Amino acid sequence: MLKRVELVETWEVAKDVRAFRFDERLKFRPGQFLMVWLPGAGEKPFSLAGEDIIVVKRVGPFTSRLFELGEGDYVWIRGPYGNGFEARGKRVALVAGGIGIPPLYALARKGGGAFEHVTLIYGARSKDELALMDVEDYVDELIITTDDGSAGRKGFPTDVLAERKGEFDQVYACGPEPMLRAVLRVMDYEKVQISAERYMKCGIGVCGSCNLGKYLVCRDGPVFEGPQLRGLL
Amino acid sequence: MLKRVELVETWEVAKDVRAFRFDERLKFRPGQFLMVWLPGAGEKPFSLAGEDIIVVKRVGPFTSRLFELGEGDYVWIRGPYGNGFEARGKRVALVAGGIGIPPLYALARKGGGAFEHVTLIYGARSKDELALMDVEDYVDELIITTDDGSAGRKGFPTDVLAERKGEFDQVYACGPEPMLRAVLRVMDYEKVQISAERYMKCGIGVCGSCNLGKYLVCRDGPVFEGPQLRGLL
Amino acid sequence: MASLEVELFGIRFENPLILASGINDKVPEQWIRAHEEGAGGVVTKSIGIEPRKGYDNPTIVELPYGLINAMGLPNPGWRGFLEMVDGYTFDFPLIVSIFGGTPEEFAFLAEKLSEVADAFELNLSCPHAKGYGMEIGQKTENVYEVVKAVKDATDKPVIAKLTPNTDDITKLGLAAEKAGADAVSAINTLKAIAIDIYARRPILSNRVGGYSGPGVKPVALRAVYDLARTLDIPVIGIGGITTWQDAVEFLLAGASALQIGTALSLRGWKVFREISEGIERYLEGEGFSSVEEIVGLALEK
Amino acid sequence: MASLEVELFGIRFENPLILASGINDKVPEQWIRAHEEGAGGVVTKSIGIEPRKGYDNPTIVELPYGLINAMGLPNPGWRGFLEMVDGYTFDFPLIVSIFGGTPEEFAFLAEKLSEVADAFELNLSCPHAKGYGMEIGQKTENVYEVVKAVKDATDKPVIAKLTPNTDDITKLGLAAEKAGADAVSAINTLKAIAIDIYARRPILSNRVGGYSGPGVKPVALRAVYDLARTLDIPVIGIGGITTWQDAVEFLLAGASALQIGTALSLRGWKVFREISEGIERYLEGEGFSSVEEIVGLALEK
């Protein structure tokens, strides 16, 4: 059911990326998403970065409209929807690419207790696109990569994962599809949970837009176990 | 919501009066009633004599059809509806007339714990119309009256009440309307709860058929406090 | 404090919540009680030419999201009605619902009852009585003829109560408006049925009936929205209004007043006060000073 | 063990539960999954002449008793559809839903898709797409013309999916039957709207939409009951079927098969197996050996 919430805080976390905190604390699992409606502008899905936070990259008219909003303004939400990550494994890697960070940020914060050692491997095109927020506080090890070498190691997060995969019981990944495919190949589809993305409209398993083979990302996902994705990603 | 229940036992309790026990134990307050549907025959209200018992007098086609049913047959019920008696007072009188006995039987059985001394004053036209069942087990004193003197004292239960009203903290009554009016007059509308009857159809406060002044018997009743009935009964 | 008062066709209502026809409104004591419990006005049970007993039980089915009923228009007839109200006066608007089989019958009833009615609601929409209600009110020509005949027979305001069992309720509304109706009310119940899977037969003695309650709200709201966009006369919203949020939705959709029916059975008399208080809080919280300010605000977007 | 198998217009279905059009049925993998999860057959998303993107979000509103949607008939067009299904085979009946603006368009689509369809369902009832669906299907003459044109264009069985937004759905059903339809299915969604009381505007980008789910069940059941009493061809029941008890009610009301849509969103894929198992238990408990034995039993009472 749609609910109006008030923005209590918004701040820039990277170039063209803002965080929005609202006045409603949701019960959620990292990986779950919200549908956010801005009357007149549309309705889009956003992964929760926390019980009351979404982190949004400006990519089009909807997000531009959202970026105009500040404290005291309203947005309308429904959700959380989808399944979310299952916290599993002791030594784990979180592999994030670009604006794939929010669900992994949430996992680092919320799932942290279940893990013994968390390595975040986070890649972006360049330094100013890294939306780190305070994630360093919630992981044991942070490895940055950038495509252009402007921060951390030059290259992709999957380069790092390929070298160190033997260390991890479980890998959690979210980011652009080429990165997700690379993660799956590196892990040979085992010991990995992937938060996938498809064009989502209804968010509740009706319209079928977000199908990924026989799955719906909104209902069967957005988090998939590696083996589910064989032949699909 | 309508529910089919199976009759597990039926027995005669007086001339043209039968008890029907079904296989569903209802949470109820004495005084509350059920709507009973017999497909093809109609739907009528009956006061609960127990969590799984109604006691019915044969008066027309519906009850005649019900009387044909025995163990293993089905009836359909919805309810319980209405407010029921509020167990109040230590020394109490239950005043029943004719087929007004079921809710007071239920009160004697269920409400017994709250009372210190229960006197049942039960009147019928003649001996064979007394539907006593095992009510004697649940009251401290049983006084029978019959119009023709064929059992107990000749006269009306209200004759007894008039003589002894000073003994009772609270009087509970159910029976024909002239008797109820007499009870109310005897008690001057105080310290008395009356289970009233009006032609009831929907049972849930829609049709308005069972109005008693500004009240609906199905919703505001069937049990009324004496003062509510001033000017009405 | 935000005002809940509304004025429709020259009549002032303390608040926009009116007891709907056919719900706990058989006798004057019930109308008075409705007002005591917070209703701004009352519509009576539908009154016809002759007394009718109504259908045998079962006349109602309880569902998870509402009720299906087929009462069969039980009423004392216009003579019985006049006897019943004799000697009563009412300090709230009393809208008398009438039904007939022809425009002439409607007009006759309006004439006979004009003394006691502050306004009339024409039952052009009851879905379960042969020869009455919806059977007449599904045709625009009939709606027009009935409204016209009643307008000629009485000076009291006339509300046409419309059926949602149609392809486009605005056609019925336009016919009523053209004939001079002072308002329309919508919706009456939706055609429905319930079957018991063990009895393997329809539950209602009339087999079919009319569906009301929370489950019909989206349909009712749409009817009100479409009517309010199309008509110049006021629209009275009916259909599943159970919470104050429902009430506000109807007001925003263009309803100038609201009728409450099934919610009374589901939630008791307190529903009038709860909804009024909710609307008032909403108005104050959102910066409005009168309920009339929000009527139809959602039509513009 | 009681048999759930049904045969309609010469096609055998493992059980009477068919995935309704427009619910999670965009691509062949989803149809195959529906069958794996227990559906006896599948109706595809409605296919038209040209690809359509559908409306912008919001396209759906969640309500306590159902959903309102206005998707806007998104589909790849018939060419895209043929490309999409190329190379697939299906071991269950695949019913292709088609929509057009004229009888000729419907006929054209049926001709082009006859190779892949085991049967066609004609969308004469989508309530929120200008020039399509309900706008055509509310008129008996259009229903007749469309069905007739499609029957002339294909040898495959033709099901006319009817709208409940009409005064009497049996008139639409009779028109379909007269034109040679092999079955009718009912109901499509009810015209509805939802308004956000704080945004003070309709929620859907299309403003209005179609209401489905548990709240429409009493209306759908009535439509099926009326159609089954009136028509000789089979009726496929659709509308709010969520539990096995709902399914049995529809069967008793005369539905020869059932479509499940919104329940899939509310309760997940397991809904097919749960309903099948419930029907089977009911049949065994009540002494029936086949689901076909109970079809229409409530019509006789």
Judge whether B107 lies within some domain. Answer: yes
Catalytic residue of the set D126, D224, D258, D291? D126
User: Same domain, yes or no, for A7 and A98?
Assistant: no
Judge whether A215 lies within some domain. Answer: no
Of B13, B48, B81, the residue at which a domain comes to its end is B81
- Residue C301: is its pLDDT beyond 80? no
Query: Which pLDDT tens digits describe chain B residue by residue (233 residues)?
Result: 899 999 999 999 999 999 999 999 999 999 999 999 999 999 999 999 999 999 999 999 999 999 999 999 999 999 999 999 999 999 999 999 999 999 999 999 987 678 999 999 999 999 999 998 999 999 999 999 999 999 999 999 999 999 999 999 999 999 999 999 999 999 999 999 999 999 999 999 999 999 999 999 999 999 999 999 999 99
Judge whether B8 lies within some domain. Answer: yes
Paired tokens of D103: 């009888």
User: Same domain, yes or no, for A184 and A126?
Assistant: yes
Judge whether B230 lies within some domain. Answer: no
Judge whether A43 lies within some domain. Answer: yes
Count of residues making up chain D: 301
User: Same domain, yes or no, for B190 and B122?
Assistant: yes
- Residue D176: is its pLDDT beyond 90? yes
Judge whether B225 lies within some domain. Answer: no
Q: Which domain holds residue B66?
A: 3-81
User: Inter-chain contact D218–C201, Cβ cutoff 8 Å?
Assistant: no
User: Same domain, yes or no, for A100 and A27?
Assistant: no
User: Which pTM was predicted?
Assistant: 0.96
Q: Give the residue from D91, D96, D75, D105 showing the smallest Cα distance to D159.
A: D96
Whether chain C lies against chain B with 3 or more Cβ pairs closer than 8 A is: yes
Q: How many domains does chain B have?
A: 2
Which domains, from first to last, does chain C contain? Answer: 6-54+69-190+215-299 (3.20.20.70)
Judge whether B204 lies within some domain. Answer: no
User: Same domain, yes or no, for B185 and B98?
Assistant: yes
Chosen for mutation from A44, A206, A217, A218 (greatest number of chain D CBs closer than 10 Å) is A206
Mean pLDDT of C214-238: 98
Say how far apart CA D115 and CA A27 lie, in whole Å: 49
Whole-number pLDDT of residue D130: 87
Q: How many angstroms away from the CA of D250 is the closest CA of chain C?
A: 9
User: Inter-chain contact B208–C265, Cβ cutoff 8 Å?
Assistant: no
Note whether C297 contacts D: Cβ–Cβ < 8 A.
yes
Chosen for mutation from D35, D57, D193 (greatest number of chain A CBs closer than 10 Å) is D57
Judge whether B219 lies within some domain. Answer: no
Catalytic residue of the set C4, C39, C126, C147? C126
Of A40, A61, A81, the residue at which a domain comes to its end is A81
Q: How many angstroms away from the CA of C124 is the closest CA of chain B?
A: 19
Residues of A in contact with D203 (CB under 8 A): 2, 37
- D261 marked as part of a ligand binding site: yes
User: Same domain, yes or no, for A98 and A171?
Assistant: yes
Angle at D242 between CA D241 and CA D248, to 5 degrees: 60
- D24 marked as part of a ligand binding site: no
User: Same domain, yes or no, for B76 and B12?
Assistant: yes
Helical H segments across chain D, by residue range: 28-36, 77-85, 103-113, 134-137, 140-153, 169-178, 217-230, 244-252, 262-267, 270-285
- B202 marked as part of a ligand binding site: yes
Q: 3-class DSSP state for residue C70?
A: coil
Note whether D141 contacts C: Cβ–Cβ < 8 A.
no
Say how far apart CA D271 and CA D250 lie, in whole Å: 16
The CATH number linked to B163 is: 3.40.50.80
Whether chain B lies against chain A with 3 or more Cβ pairs closer than 8 A is: no
Note whether A76 contacts D: Cβ–Cβ < 8 A.
yes
Paired tokens of C273: 């006060």
Residues of A in contact with D62 (CB under 8 A): 1-2, 78, 204
User: Same domain, yes or no, for B98 and B165?
Assistant: yes
Residue C126 known to be catalytic: yes
Q: Which of B57-71, C68-82, D123-137 has the lowest mean pLDDT?
A: D123-137
Query: Which pLDDT tens digits describe chain A residue by residue (233 residues)?
Result: 899 999 999 999 999 999 999 999 999 999 999 999 999 999 999 999 999 999 999 999 999 999 999 999 999 999 999 999 999 999 999 999 999 999 999 999 987 678 999 999 999 999 999 998 999 999 999 999 999 999 999 999 999 999 999 999 999 999 999 999 999 999 999 999 999 999 999 999 999 999 999 999 999 999 999 999 999 99
- D84 marked as part of a ligand binding site: no
Mean pLDDT of C175-193: 98
Chain A residue at shortest CA distance from D60: A202
User: Same domain, yes or no, for B23 and B97?
Assistant: no
Chosen for mutation from C23, C26, C55, C60 (greatest number of chain B CBs closer than 10 Å) is C60
User: Same domain, yes or no, for A103 and A63?
Assistant: no
User: Same domain, yes or no, for A69 and A97?
Assistant: no
User: Inter-chain contact D301–C202, Cβ cutoff 8 Å?
Assistant: yes
- Residue C268: is its pLDDT beyond 70? yes
* pLDDT digit string, tens, across residues D211-236: 999 999 999 999 999 999 999 999 99
The CATH number linked to B51 is: 2.40.30.10
User: Same domain, yes or no, for A98 and A64?
Assistant: no
